[in-house]
Structure 1
Amino acid sequence: FGSSWESGFSAENSEVDRCLQGPEGNGISTGTVDTLMAEDEEKADVPPEAKEEVDGVETEDRDDDDEEEDGQDKDGNQIKKKKKKKKGKGAKSSAAGGDKDGDVEGEGEVDGEALSSQEQLLQMLRRSRVCEESRRHVERPHLFWDTQPVPNMAAENFQDSGPIDEIKTVEEVRDEPYNLPDAFEWVSCNVSDDKEANEIYTLLTENYVEDDDSMFRFDYSVAFLRWALQPPEHLPFWHLGVRVKSNQKLVGFITGIPANIQVYDQVVKMAEINFLCVHKKLRSKRLAPVLIKEITRRVNKQNVWQAVYTAGVVLPRPVSECRYYHRSLNPKKLIEVGFSHLGPRMTMARTIKLYKVPDHPQLMGMREMVKTDIPRVFELISSYLKKFPLHPEFTQDELAHWMLPREGVIYSFVREDSRGEVTDVCSFYSLPSSILGHDKYTLLKAAYSYWNVATSVQLSDLMYDALILARQRDFDVFNALNVMEHDSFLKDLKFGIGDGFLQYYLYNWKCPKIEPGGIGLVLL
């Protein structure tokens, strides 16, 4: 926090006004803005013949191989560096629950028998791609992130923990917001207001995480946004937007919520950063770093100097690299929309049978969580999370906010023993994706594993009931990261590995790297 880096944002006001007057979502081919993915480092270098017009305004074709990175040399002069843009389908995973399922292979193989030669080859290629991706990101410059208090990609692993920047005071933080071009203005977004909440929803729905093939896009509901952004002690001015002055159109967004995060043996006040989104028509205008710098300033003004965030891309430098796994609940639909596909020896009927789950939970005493369960659920989850090097420290009010069921948002269940005592808890939240351009389906319903604690049964048995409860509520797929103790059930419950990663990052905090099993934090 508190870097002196200035943005390279530049825009002709008349051009921006024109491009934002017409209808939105005109099918511009652009890259994804992932959580805290700074597109400031990737400005497309497009020959004139590769440009298209939308609403009478030329927009860049972001599928071009070449990109330029803008930055400054030590004397402050603008520099550009050519580099190759990686093409791939990793972003599809982001927009539809991490990654697409792999091929559905033979029934015995999915049940855990020896991997086929084809599967072994796929795993080898995945590892090779991961190694190449890591090497490429170590070697490439990060013109924004290299100015920030985050670990350098090439630096040795830390053995100690603590702040990276020198200790500052609130008085040292600038009072004025960072400059925007004359056509734009900063705003604090009020998600309690229906009109503003719907504007945020529209911006995210039409411009947030989307796969490279334009098949899926996250569809955050207004109810979900209010849940995600309004925990106890939230700060409305950490819900930051950028509007066009002339028509008040919302074109940029980033949020923070306060959290106490334990990193190894220290509890640190942090901001959880999320929902970085820039309107598609402004992706080449380098707005992302300005949003990051302004949310940083606002967080610093509250005497908070660290942050935690996740991204599907590799930036300097992850504290942990985790994988998404997917469990088909409605395989026929997943195959029809292109999220997964049949294996070479599988029929649709066999695949449906393979992934079928019972109609009702198998454990005795399973029921929906209610308000009176809060003290016991707080005790179970708080105690469980302490075993992981990175985890949130909740208050009881915070846990009540995150865990009490909300239809269409968060689903939480507990198991009672014969004496009526709650012994186990499982939960998942709903994050659907819009299915773009499909004749039959418009929405992919995805459940995401949240907080799960098993003390009287095996975790795999508890999560099997979670799958059943999700299928009862018409979810198509159940997603889980390989964090906490999830590895203990992923294989047995027929989860398929995704082909991408979710990186965890700490801002202005160094610590030893954490394996996925040591991560006790789930960010929405």
Structure 2
Amino acid sequence: MADSHPEGAPLEEQLESESETEEQPQNGTDAAQDPETSTSAKPKKKKKKSKKSKLVAALTGNKSSEPAESSQSAAKLSDDHVKKLLDMNPSLKGELAGVPPAKAAEILKKMDAAQLLSGLSLNGKNQKDMASYKFWATQPVPRLDEQSTAEKPDGPIKEVIRELVPKDAAPLPEGYEWVELDLTSDAEVKEVYNLLSQHYVEDDHAMFRFNYSAVFLDWALKSPDWKKSWHIGVRAKGPSRLLVATIFGIPIKLKIRQNVVDVVEINYMCVHKKLRSRRLAPVLIKEVTRRCNLDGIYQAIYTGGVVLPTPVGSARYYHRSLDWLKLYEVGFSPLPPNSTQARMIARNQLPPNTSTPGWRVMQEKDIDAVLDLLVRYLDRFNLTQVFNRAEIEHWFHNRHKPEDQVVLSFVVEQDGKITDFASFYCLESSVIGKMSEKHAKIRAAYLYYYATEQAFNPKEKGLKERLLQLGQDLLIEAKKAKFDVFNALTLHDNPLFLEELKFGAGDGQLHHYLYNWRTKPINGGINEKNLPDESKRGGIGIVLL
């Protein structure tokens, strides 16, 4: 079991980065590709294509070598392309170790180019070797060379006999020991915060780093029925007792098509940068798996930005500037060619007030109505969490003072009935380096869950118009709350409104993985060109932090 969360990375990113100090962007830290939000948008200059650019073009069929704009079959790969692809993507190279070249080429040709590109490093900065063949070959996950699951029934890949699960943890390297972290202790929460703040995900250019506050960690990791035994740490022995690694699991009920399964959501796996050569990540994964198995949980869900064996579905990040000038000043958003600061500020302006009649902040009295509406709404999707009342209260009803608010939830009440619900959560990033002199943090809002009665009209009449209105009101609320950027994925019904609300395309994907469960691929709201597609809705309906 493994992960995230963007978002010291989610399982897949961390495992491959153990032997390095650089980390990949995750869960929304990727730069947007449209000129408004992209950190990489610069005036185009004609130059000779590099070997890597030529490979990108071969993979995507895109002569301009812009990988995110095409996601066609890689069927035209030559032997030379295959070799270069594997050299550029150590994750795939490790997974295909020992596979004859002809067979490896056949596997790659069946993969979607968007998946290939999301796992390789075009600039060479973040090449990692996470997807070790020896490790993943021992895990109950679909292999990259596995035949289509279309004709196989949904269900567990491996039967786990609870009585045979080891009662003791695997040994750690000399000088380290397992601990259960106590998140009711302010001192231990601070230790987790310090580890994540120094060793979790940064962006490619080491300009921004996720800032998981104590309040955020309390919200994210202490959901109803949380288990202390699933909050796992590794400490150095001796006087310092330094916390050097973590991995966390929370229990959720997951609907996978027609099956409802108790699973663990894995997140915040982080290894101290100086210890990544000790290969702690596989041991962390095995340990959280062992503990969950002892509790009768045999399946997991996790996300990440690179290709592992094997995504059940993938979505793409989109970003909407709220304070364009601040984003420009910290280097997040460039000034597009032939534009001006004044023009960009004007382009991203929003109305001062919300426009939906009956719109208000969610209150405790709304919990039952929100539960009913959200459960019905999410039942339209193939992969989603099944909420109960306690979870609605925990995840959406904010009891914190304004400066500590993690989630902001709103409802629309008409004639005494809750007809709509919408929410977003807050995740700050610290600005590091010289850019921090003017602004210390970026406040990012992440679109969370929403629901509307309009979804149940015949042929979804009025759904798009309603979501556009609700989406704009969420942007206005985020702007009022001093957020700088609003991030969203292409899952849920988001393809209906992202582009019209001026969200810009991100340059990465978020892959969703199921551990010890086989099912057919599930749509993530994007088409073969890696763009939002209304016809690809109805697949992924879960938001992982």
What residue is the counterpart of 1:477 in the other structure?
A: 485
What residue is the counterpart of 1:109 in the other structure?
A: none
Partner Cα distance (1:36, 1:158) in 2 = 24
The secondary structure found in structure 2 opposite 1:423 is: strand
User: Would you say the 8 A contact 2:491–2:541 is kept in 1?
Assistant: yes
Q: Please list every run of 5 or more consecutive structure 1 residues that lacks an aligned counterpart in the other structure.
A: 3-31, 45-59, 64-89, 107-115
Q: Please report the RMSD computed on the Cα atoms of aligned residues, expressed in angstroms.
A: 2.6
Q: Does the alignment pair 1:409 with 2:406?
A: yes
| Shift of residue 455, structure 1, vs aligned partner | 2.4
Q: Does the alignment pair 1:153 with 2:144?
A: yes
Partner Cα distance (1:501, 1:170) in 2 = 36
Match of 2:495 among 470, 487, 501: 487
Cα distance change on mapping 1:441 and 1:259 into 2, 3 Å? same
| Shift of residue 126, structure 1, vs aligned partner | 2.2
Partner Cα distance (2:244, 2:263) in 1 = 26
User: Would you say the 8 A contact 1:34–1:209 is kept in 2?
Assistant: yes
What residue is the counterpart of 1:33 in the other structure?
A: 8
| Shift of residue 105, structure 1, vs aligned partner | 6.0
Q: Does the alignment pair 1:265 with 2:196?
A: no
| Shift of residue 420, structure 1, vs aligned partner | 2.4
Q: Does the alignment pair 1:178 with 2:170?
A: yes
Partner Cα distance (1:354, 1:495) in 2 = 12
Cα distance change on mapping 1:468 and 1:42 into 2, 3 Å? closer
| Shift of residue 146, structure 1, vs aligned partner | 2.2
What residue is the counterpart of 1:441 in the other structure?
A: 439
| Shift of residue 360, structure 1, vs aligned partner | 1.2
| Shift of residue 321, structure 1, vs aligned partner | 1.2
Opposite residue 126 of structure 1, the aligned amino acid is A
Q: Please list every run of 5 or more consecutive structure 2 residues that lacks an aligned counterpart in the other structure.
A: 38-43, 47-61, 75-80, 96-131, 455-464, 525-536
Cα distance change on mapping 1:182 and 1:139 into 2, 3 Å? closer
| Shift of residue 122, structure 1, vs aligned partner | 6.7
User: Would you say the 8 A contact 1:460–1:493 is kept in 2?
Assistant: yes
What residue is the counterpart of 1:190 in the other structure?
A: 182
| Shift of residue 152, structure 1, vs aligned partner | 0.5
User: Would you say the 8 A contact 2:377–2:452 is kept in 1?
Assistant: no
| Shift of residue 43, structure 1, vs aligned partner | 6.4
User: Would you say the 8 A contact 2:13–2:306 is kept in 1?
Assistant: no
User: Would you say the 8 A contact 1:105–1:346 is kept in 2?
Assistant: no
Moved more, 406-415 or 124-133: 124-133
Percent of paired sites with the same residue: 42
What residue is the counterpart of 1:428 in the other structure?
A: 424
| Shift of residue 121, structure 1, vs aligned partner | 7.5
| Shift of residue 390, structure 1, vs aligned partner | 0.4
Cα distance change on mapping 1:38 and 1:473 into 2, 3 Å? closer
Match of 2:352 among 355, 359, 373: 359
Partner Cα distance (1:323, 1:307) in 2 = 21
What residue is the counterpart of 1:56 in the other structure?
A: none
Q: Does the alignment pair 1:520 with 2:541?
A: yes
Match of 1:299 among 292, 295, 303: 292
Q: Does the alignment pair 1:275 with 2:283?
A: no
Q: Does the alignment pair 1:239 with 2:226?
A: no
User: Would you say the 8 A contact 2:18–2:275 is kept in 1?
Assistant: no
Partner Cα distance (2:218, 2:521) in 1 = 33
| Shift of residue 284, structure 1, vs aligned partner | 1.5
User: Would you say the 8 A contact 2:360–2:410 is kept in 1?
Assistant: yes
| Shift of residue 280, structure 1, vs aligned partner | 1.1
What residue is the counterpart of 1:229 in the other structure?
A: 221
The secondary structure found in structure 2 opposite 1:451 is: strand
The secondary structure found in structure 2 opposite 1:104 is: coil
Partner Cα distance (1:381, 1:122) in 2 = 43
Opposite residue 405 of structure 2, the aligned amino acid is G
| Shift of residue 303, structure 1, vs aligned partner | 0.6
| Shift of residue 168, structure 1, vs aligned partner | 2.3
Moved more, 330-339 or 499-508: 330-339
| Shift of residue 214, structure 1, vs aligned partner | 0.9
| Shift of residue 362, structure 1, vs aligned partner | 1.3
The secondary structure found in structure 2 opposite 1:502 is: strand
- CA deviations on 1:221-259 (whole Å, 9 max, x unpaired) are 111111111111111110000011112111100000111
Match of 1:381 among 371, 374, 380: 374
What TM-score do the two structures reach when normalised by structure 1? 0.79
| Shift of residue 163, structure 1, vs aligned partner | 4.0
Partner Cα distance (2:229, 2:248) in 1 = 9
Partner Cα distance (2:513, 2:185) in 1 = 31
Partner Cα distance (1:243, 1:325) in 2 = 38
Superposition pairs of residues 3-402 of structure 1, within 5 angstroms: 33-37=8-12, 39-40=14-15, 44=19, 91-92=24-25, 94=26, 97-104=28-35, 124-127=66-69, 140-141=94-95, 142-143=132-133, 144-159=135-150, 160-246=152-238, 247-402=240-395
Moved more, 450-459 or 483-492: 450-459
| Shift of residue 182, structure 1, vs aligned partner | 2.9
Cα distance change on mapping 1:367 and 1:502 into 2, 3 Å? same
Cα distance change on mapping 1:251 and 1:122 into 2, 3 Å? farther
Partner Cα distance (2:85, 2:430) in 1 = 31
- CA deviations on 1:283-342 (whole Å, 9 max, x unpaired) are 221111111110000000001100000011111110011100000000111111111212
Partner Cα distance (1:40, 1:481) in 2 = 24
Cα distance change on mapping 1:244 and 1:360 into 2, 3 Å? same
Partner Cα distance (2:17, 2:375) in 1 = 41
| Shift of residue 124, structure 1, vs aligned partner | 4.5
Cα distance change on mapping 1:232 and 1:41 into 2, 3 Å? closer
| Shift of residue 169, structure 1, vs aligned partner | 2.4
Opposite residue 67 of structure 2, the aligned amino acid is L
Partner Cα distance (2:369, 2:67) in 1 = 45
Partner Cα distance (2:17, 2:325) in 1 = 38
User: Would you say the 8 A contact 1:219–1:433 is kept in 2?
Assistant: yes
